Structure 1
């Protein structure tokens, strides 16, 4: 290809990209202006950006996501799903916005279970009355060479709160937790609740609210990846391997 042709194509590409960026900036300005004027009670807009759907823009308010057209004439609240890829783009975006670095986890508010050499690490937010959590715990018990940090996350009612307090106040939290979750042995009432500080449970709930942990179990891998729900070992094992490789 002649040098002038290569240079022409490069210049055309730069021009095209420049026009696209200018259009995006123009749309953002219009969207911000119109939404602010028409919806004065709307929280401050942190970010406006185009979505993969032509003509649709994401409006980010903190960690809340809305969608609008290029002029801000319409506002949509809901999930954007890529039907070809079968991906919930809204959930994917929210997971990125609320990603939790493993070293940012308040591990002092969790109890630890170590199996084998404990080299692989994961954290689990779980409710003691969550059926999916119980199923997940039975799978976790089959893992070797793992350290599991369990954050008691009682979101399913008063009984969950009572059981979480009993587990947290136990001398051997890991044993009492596993006895209950895997074998149905009710956690014993603490001998002296006055001497047991359960403020960690309140901090766990506040932490979960901040990072949009809306269901249990929710697992955080060493690379920060968040896994909602109970997944089987066939999926968990390769994810643990990937997380370990990313941390090396």
Structure 2
């Protein structure tokens, strides 16, 4: 009896190993095909989807779907109708969460206590009217238990006037005060002419994560919320959101 069981276990192990080898071979063939059709593109990850012959590819923070031969691409939302789950958004949340949580917190301009109930990361532009309006409520967000962590996203691009303002804020002795003054259209005090700063890197990161407007909020679990959300509305959303994910 023991020999039969051992034999079955061995056979089962071989079967699983065979499946893994086949899966690895197919992924390799997709990678090879993609290199042919899209030379120079760096793949962040690749894995099969629940649909046979269709593979999920993450390229520069974006989720795309490709056929096994790498010839056909599908750009859009993949939804599991049985579970009502948006698989694309679920995957993008994971990609954004990994990118945001890998950042050095010292490269952010933070408003709020060290210990806060919620943390919200915001891609912001100094000249954006809604960003300015949102910042006027920063104390209210903090009082409601929300820590705000700002990342620079000058919408006009690197080298623009908004970009230069973001760099000036970063180079100021008091970045919080400088950001508040800049968003109020006041001159920034105590700035250096040049300093090492993360503005360009944060702008590029935002683009790779699908940020195309400001303010754009990203939670630590990767959930993206575009636009200005008033303090009470935001805390209500956060309470409901994290209750669902428990």
Question: Is the aligned partner of 1:74 residue 2:76?
Answer: no
Which SS does the other structure have where 1:53 is aligned? Answer: coil
- Report the CA distance between 1:82 and its aligned residue: 0.6
The answer as to whether partners of 1:81 and 1:88 remain within 8 angstroms in 2 is yes
Per the alignment, residue 150 of structure 2 pairs with 150
Aligned counterparts, 1:182-201, within 5 A? 186-190=184-188, 195-197=192-194, 199-200=196-197
Per the alignment, residue 25 of structure 1 pairs with 24
Per the alignment, residue 221 of structure 2 pairs with 225
Which SS does the other structure have where 2:52 is aligned? Answer: coil
Give, in whole Å, the separation in 2 of the partners of 1:208 and 1:162: 13
Question: Is the aligned partner of 1:209 residue 2:208?
Answer: no
Question: TM-score if structure 2 supplies the norm length?
Answer: 0.64
- Report the CA distance between 1:51 and its aligned residue: 0.7
Give, in whole Å, the separation in 1 of the partners of 2:190 and 2:28: 60
Paired residue total: 229
The answer as to whether partners of 1:123 and 1:220 remain within 8 angstroms in 2 is yes
Per the alignment, residue 128 of structure 1 pairs with 126
Unaligned runs of 5+ in 1: 1-5
Per the alignment, residue 89 of structure 1 pairs with 87
Aligned counterparts, 1:105-144, within 5 A? 105-114=103-112, 118-120=114-116, 121-134=119-132, 136-137=134-135, 138=137, 141-144=140-143
The answer as to whether partners of 2:155 and 2:162 remain within 8 angstroms in 1 is yes
Give, in whole Å, the separation in 2 of the partners of 1:233 and 1:106: 25
The answer as to whether partners of 1:66 and 1:75 remain within 8 angstroms in 2 is no
- Report the CA distance between 1:167 and its aligned residue: 4.6
Q: Using a 3 Å threshold, how does the CA distance of structure 1 residues 141 and 153 change in structure 2: closer, same or farther?
A: farther
Per the alignment, residue 161 of structure 1 pairs with 163
- Report the CA distance between 1:178 and its aligned residue: 4.7
The answer as to whether partners of 2:141 and 2:147 remain within 8 angstroms in 1 is no
Q: CA RMSD in A?
A: 4.5
- Report the CA distance between 1:56 and its aligned residue: 0.8
Unaligned runs of 5+ in 2: none
